[in-house]
Structure 1
Amino acid sequence: MNTDTTRTENDAIVEQARQAAGPALLDTAAGGELAVFHTPTGLEVVDLDADKYARRADRPRRKQGTTVVRDVRSFAQYYRKHSDEHSEVYVILDEGLIIAVLDAHQPEPDAPRWGDHVLQLRLTPTEAWQRWGAQNRRLLPQVAFAEFLEDNLDDLASQPVPAAEVLEIARTFQARTKVSFSSGIVQASGDIRLKYEETTDATGGARGELTVPNEFAVALAAFDDTDRYLIRARLRHRIEGGNLRLMYILDRPEEHLREAVKTVVEKVEAEIGVQIMRGAPPT
């Protein structure tokens, strides 16, 4: 008898038996599952939690993914549905971003969790806030400046200058298009006195003055979940070649925006009953 031939035949029978037995299923410490196959080249391990295999199951093994909402009510609704006693919430103030890690680590040293089921509240400034922010510190021709004020009249505060007065100033700028401005003086009262000369032949070069306040104020809500903030706007001007250009400078809008984020954080804390930490979750 040829022992080598017998051994080869026996090995083949053993290999067939191994393959017929099917894979061995092993549970992992993280709650997943591995399938171990016998192959002619050795053992092959397959992670059944990999996407191409996990999606064949009837349902996922665990919750994961990032959900993004836009207001406090939606955040609270989702959080109450999916959170547990170990969920954590963070806020990045400068980004206006509130992050809830719904499957955060448990306190026991041997009970970590994946931390990849996440809820985010991304605060988006209101359209009015964005409009005023986009034109802040930008010198505009007098007509464009006047049209901007007129288009956003509803955002003007009643103090220190009534909205009706600001509208009248805007219309005056629109009417004074055929003039050449010569100088602008800041008076003791703080108002700006602009001197101009008509450039049309019909008036014979008549001269005049126009007095405008050096500041006004706007009332803007930073986010949908916040009240309006009263923000001072200082008026500045520049005369170049007889042409007048104007701009406003909002008083510390970044601080108001940061305070608005804090207000939203307080509302979220009241809704979900959890103290929000300043910072970002582990990545």
Structure 2
Amino acid sequence: MNSKTIDDITAAGAAGLIAELATASCGPALVLIPTDGLGAGLPGEVPILFDRANQKVIDLQSTINAARQEPARRKGVAKVETLRSFIDLANRHKDETSAIFGTTIWPTPKLTAVLNYNTGTSPHWNDHRIIYEFPLTEEFKAWIEGDGDGMDQATFAFFLEEHAAELSAPFDGERSEYELLFKERFATPADLIALARHLEVFVNAKAKQGIRLQTGERTIEFSEEHLNGKGEKVDIPGIFMVSVPAFLDGDAIRIPARLRYRIKGGDISWSYQLYRWQFWLRNKVQQDLAKAGEKTELPTFEGAPENG
């Protein structure tokens, strides 16, 4: 091989090397950024891709995430309609960071399981949740909506018969407590059904106030005009017990109710007043919060987590 051929080869190799170096100097470079001292929750190094030709950083995270076939972590909010579903779903997803919060005050009772909640030593995302908003039964809604509203005799008689299944006899402790408190006689469900039927009979009759007896009983006298004032006396109890499930698929709560009436010009208006029903409702929510904590073995807190 003569010297000219060797020179030609050497020149070609040098040109290729120069081109390779030029290309490398313009290509992207992987740079590792140390995170020491920048706070918890970071890896030791964060990789970035630097485009040397255009002098800018290429977003590696979005590029890599776009290629994911499954989410990097669990997040989102599941809403359930029963306490049992809340407990079962919490048990399915819980870990050592999970916790349950209970908003127990009307009108927005709610249980919230935060499955990735903060621990005592480190923060977490707090964005994977299960919510149970205590859906009300139609029966409970009817009692609440009618609380304190005046009803004519026919309407009240119909209401008692329509909701007879939600009337309950008082327990011995309830009877002694509330009869002493209200100085009234406790009615059994049979008493109230009998009252409703009496009211149906005398729906067109005139009413006048009867006598309050020493036993705490009250009477109303109903009379037809053609009887010259001679009428029938109906015994009116003062309190009764409502036992109704407040929430779908939930246990019944017991609420004492006072029976009221007003007579004006021979016409009578009936109403009932549920005694401290919001207290009994909150008590039920507190019991369900405790039950959820027991069945899931998670810590419980009365209140709401960060961001609701």
* Pairwise TM-score range, normalised by the shorter structure: 0.7 to 0.9
Relative distance call for 1:225 and 1:151 in structure 2 (3 A) is closer
Return the offset for 1:279: 1.9
SS, match of residue 261 in structure 1: helix
| Alignment partners' CA distance in 2, 1:170 and 1:34 | 79
| Alignment partners' CA distance in 1, 2:230 and 2:53 | 101
2:88 pairs with 1:62: no
Q: 1:104 aligns with which of 117, 120, 124?
A: 117
2:193 pairs with 1:167: yes
Runs (4 or more) in structure 1 with deviation over 4 Å come to: 20-31, 33-42, 44-50, 53-56
Paired residue for 1:207? 230
Q: Which moved more, 1:148-157 or 1:81-90?
A: 81-90
Paired residue for 2:262? 238
2:159 pairs with 1:148: yes
Relative distance call for 1:79 and 1:55 in structure 2 (3 A) is farther
Relative distance call for 1:169 and 1:59 in structure 2 (3 A) is same
Relative distance call for 1:71 and 1:205 in structure 2 (3 A) is same
Paired residue for 1:116? 127
| Alignment partners' CA distance in 2, 1:156 and 1:22 | 78
Relative distance call for 1:131 and 1:21 in structure 2 (3 A) is same
Return the offset for 1:260: 0.8
| Alignment partners' CA distance in 1, 2:290 and 2:78 | 21
1:149-182 deviation per Cα after TM superposition (whole angstroms, max 9, x unaligned): 0001111113442322211210111121222223
Aligned-partner residue type, residue 261 of structure 2: H
2:96 pairs with 1:72: no
Return the offset for 1:66: 0.7
1:170-199 deviation per Cα after TM superposition (whole angstroms, max 9, x unaligned): 011112122222335543322222233314
**5+ long unaligned stretches in structure 2:** 1-21, 36-40, 171-185
Aligned-partner residue type, residue 124 of structure 1: P
Cα pair 2:202 2:222 within 8 Å, conserved? no
Return the offset for 1:124: 2.3
Return the offset for 1:60: 1.7
Relative distance call for 1:106 and 1:169 in structure 2 (3 A) is closer
SS, match of residue 207 in structure 1: coil
Relative distance call for 1:73 and 1:197 in structure 2 (3 A) is closer
1:137-158 deviation per Cα after TM superposition (whole angstroms, max 9, x unaligned): 1111111011000001111113
Q: Which moved more, 1:60-69 or 1:160-169?
A: 160-169
Cα pair 1:226 1:264 within 8 Å, conserved? no
**5+ long unaligned stretches in structure 1:** 1-13
Paired residue for 2:287? 263
| Alignment partners' CA distance in 2, 1:92 and 1:222 | 16
Q: 2:216 aligns with which of 190, 198, 203?
A: 190
Would you say how many aligned residue pairs link Structure 1 and Structure 2? 261
Cα pair 2:28 2:50 within 8 Å, conserved? no
| Alignment partners' CA distance in 1, 2:265 and 2:246 | 38
Relative distance call for 1:204 and 1:55 in structure 2 (3 A) is farther
Aligned-partner residue type, residue 104 of structure 2: L
The answer to which structure has the higher strand fraction is 1
Cα pair 1:229 1:256 within 8 Å, conserved? yes
SS, match of residue 168 in structure 2: coil
The percentage of aligned residue pairs carrying the same residue is: 25
Paired residue for 1:216? 240
Aligned-partner residue type, residue 72 of structure 1: L
| Alignment partners' CA distance in 2, 1:154 and 1:144 | 17
Relative distance call for 1:83 and 1:229 in structure 2 (3 A) is closer
| Alignment partners' CA distance in 2, 1:204 and 1:55 | 89
Return the offset for 1:224: 4.6
Aligned-partner residue type, residue 245 of structure 1: S
Paired residue for 2:138? 127
| Alignment partners' CA distance in 2, 1:238 and 1:66 | 50
Aligned-partner residue type, residue 149 of structure 2: R
Cα pair 1:225 1:264 within 8 Å, conserved? no
